[in-house]
Chain A
């Protein structure tokens, strides 16, 4: 059984490697469509990761360290995008931030801000899908952090913010790094919500996964080349986290 499972997981990767047209790999990766997609993906995923950090870490702290009615509901809502089909997420975003959306309409009418068919929309979609990974990683780390260290900091005259910045945050640094890497990887791979909400415009909303999907129908070896690039990124993330996960499996 285990062999079958391993084969099932490994064969597609081997297929990707054997089907790759190594001789044209460089030209495939440097054609304008691919370059645009690569650039856009890096920009969007970096923004999504940054936004997740800025907004996700404080929420993680609130969930881990405070008691308030409805906290479990809030936690469930923050985790929902992880289990929600990304397409549904895209539709939901469209209804909220689209030009006729609950928030999208006033934003457009008053400020001329439009998310659909814009890079900002792609960033929004990626953030929506990826941020939960950061929140749950950081919340779990804060929870497992001995709260008495925060007591010690308070006893030494540190207010909440100083305690968080100088004690809690450095102490959960490994989890923060892992959560950030996961979030970035998820944002980089985002497809469903992005194409549904932001659309598929080269140079503006067409991120790598969208480009792969499109290329597959016209130019298979370009799709394979871009997939290899994404696979390489995934491996780099996995290796950089090996101390946390692969290491944890060892007895």
Chain B
């Protein structure tokens, strides 16, 4: 176990309490809505935000433990960070930015520059060594920031939204590069993101935090198939329903009952993929066990697909083809029949 963090931070009305362990060579992606405390978590690990409780241990060294009165300042932690917006020093060249860390750790100027050039070469930017940050593109700045963070030979690497400032077109190839670079890094890595695609492409494990609490963690597959909160389900593009199961029936909050494959009992979560919900203008016949009448709340067109948000009694999103939407003539407020097969509702315990 490389990083072991029991992170407790109180900032005004915001309060964070979560446990995070990261193994050597593991990349953990932290996802969460705005204000959930993702950056606060990184700042606490980097020592830029002292803990109010708990304990952070990296490679057996206690970095922060308010009870024992231990607090290693940021400049003495073996921890590299890629900040949001990268924060390259604007008055220094790319190579001087990268050499900044080694210089502070006592490496002589010539040697630090040599190491920095090597790092820039590793991220494919040897020819930009003498460029100032304002002359770099977003993708180049990201890689210089990465080289700068890794040049200090950290045991813990923290990435704060490394992709957020990049054009959508660039993201694919940079994701690939970042993944490649992180594979060669032996320490622990924590990457904050709000994009599940970045998390899926780069990280080994996903950790989801909401309002300063860890709500779910696991591999991408675990998180995708068994979301535990509405935020996670929405992130993965799924409908999440909470209810109480009796045998094969799932009783929802409003009293509506969904037929599932079951049998199960107790507080349950159920996931329905939007494309498994079918829409009709008249009550459908045939096999679907769950059929209900509702109204269209909102329609979003996404390419050749349309996402139709339905109103009460079961506020879920259905995904149909744009052609089907045109044929059904669906607009906001239109009455519609929805149906879903019992076999397409995945039910699992809520706790």
Contact residues in B for A151 (Cβ distance below 8 Å): 43, 46, 48, 74, 83, 87
Which of B46, B100, B149 contacts A153, CB < 8 Å? B100
Shortest beta-carbon distance from B166 to chain A in Å: 19
Interface assignment of B80: CB less than 8 Å from any CB of chain A: yes
B100 and A148 contacting across the interface, CB-CB below 8 Å: no
In the complex, the answer to whether B48 meets A149 with C-beta atoms within 8 Å is no
Please tell me if A4 contacts chain B, counting CB pairs below 8 Å: no
Interface of chain A: mostly helix, strand, loop or mixed = helix
Q: When each residue 163-203 of chain A gets 1 if its CB lies under 8 Å from chain B and 0 otherwise, what string results?
A: 00011001101000000000000000000000000000000
Q: Does B148 contact A (CB under 8 A)?
A: yes
B100 with A158: CB separation less than 8 A:
yes
Nearest-Cβ distance from residue A148 to partner chain B, whole angstroms: 6
Partner of A158, one of B43, B75, B83, B92: B75
Q: B203 at interface (Cβ–Cβ under 8 A)?
A: no
8 Å CB interface, A127-177 against B? 146, 148-149, 151-159, 162, 166-167, 170-171, 173
- Whole-angstrom CA separation of A132 from B67 in the bound complex: 43
Q: With A148-B83, A159-B75, A166-B100 in contact, do A154 and B48 touch (Cβ < 8 Å)? A: yes
Residues of chain B contacted by A149 (CB below 8 angstroms): 87, 89
Q: Chain A's nearest CB lies how many Å from the CB of B152?
A: 6
A157 & B87 in contact (Cβ 8 Å cutoff): no
User: Which of A152, A162, A166 interacts with B87 by CB under 8 Å?
Assistant: A152
Q: Quick one: which of A151, A156, A162, A170 has the most chain B CB within 10 A? A: A156
B104 sits at the interface (CB 8 A): yes
- Of the residues A156, A158, A170, contact of B91 by C-beta under 8 Å: A170
Chain B residues, CB < 8 A from A152: 81, 83, 87, 89
Chain A residues positioned under 8 Å from B104 (CB to CB)? 156-159, 162
Residues of A within 8 A of B89 (CB): 149, 152-153, 167, 170-171
Most chain B CB neighbours (cut-off 10 Å) among A146, A153, A155, A158: A155
Query: Does B333 belong to the interface (CB within 8 Å)?
Result: no
Q: Contact between A171 and B48 (Cβ–Cβ < 8 Å)?
A: no
| Interface residue from B47, B90, B152 paired with A156 (Cβ < 8 Å) | B152
Give chain B nearest CB distance to A177 CB in angstroms. Answer: 14
Nearest chain B CB to A66 CB, angstrom units? 16
CA A166 – CA B109 in complex, angstroms? Answer: 14
CB distance from B253 to the nearest CB of A (A): 43
A149 to B85, CA, bound (A): 11
- Residue of A157, A167, A170 near B101 (CB, 8 A) is A157
Which B residues lie within 8 Å of A171 (CB)? 89-91
| A155 to B47 alpha-carbon distance, docked (Å) | 8
Query: Hey, which chain B residues are within 8 Å of A159, CB to CB?
Result: 75, 104
Bound Cα distance A188, B320 (Å):
78
> Are A155 and B46 within 8 A (Cβ)?
yes
Given contacts A162-B104, A166-B100, contact A154 B87 (CB under 8 A): no
User: Any chain A CB within 8 A of the CB of B220?
Assistant: no
30 residue pairs of the A-B complex, CB under 8 angstroms, read A148-B83, A151-B83, A151-B87, A152-B81, A152-B89, A153-B89, A154-B47, A154-B48, A155-B46, A155-B75, A155-B77, A155-B81, A155-B149, A156-B101, A156-B104, A156-B148, A157-B75, A157-B76, A158-B75, A158-B100, A158-B104, A159-B75, A159-B104, A162-B104, A167-B89, A170-B89, A170-B91, A171-B89, A171-B90, A173-B91
Q: Which B residues are within 8 Å of any A CB, using their own CB?
A: 43, 46-48, 73-77, 79-81, 83, 87, 89-92, 100-101, 104-105, 148-149, 152
Since A152-B87, A153-B100, A155-B75 are in contact, a sample of 11 more A-B pairs with Cβ atoms closer than 8 Å, ordered by chain A residue number, is A146-B87, A148-B87, A149-B87, A151-B48, A154-B75, A156-B101, A157-B75, A157-B101, A158-B100, A159-B104, A167-B89
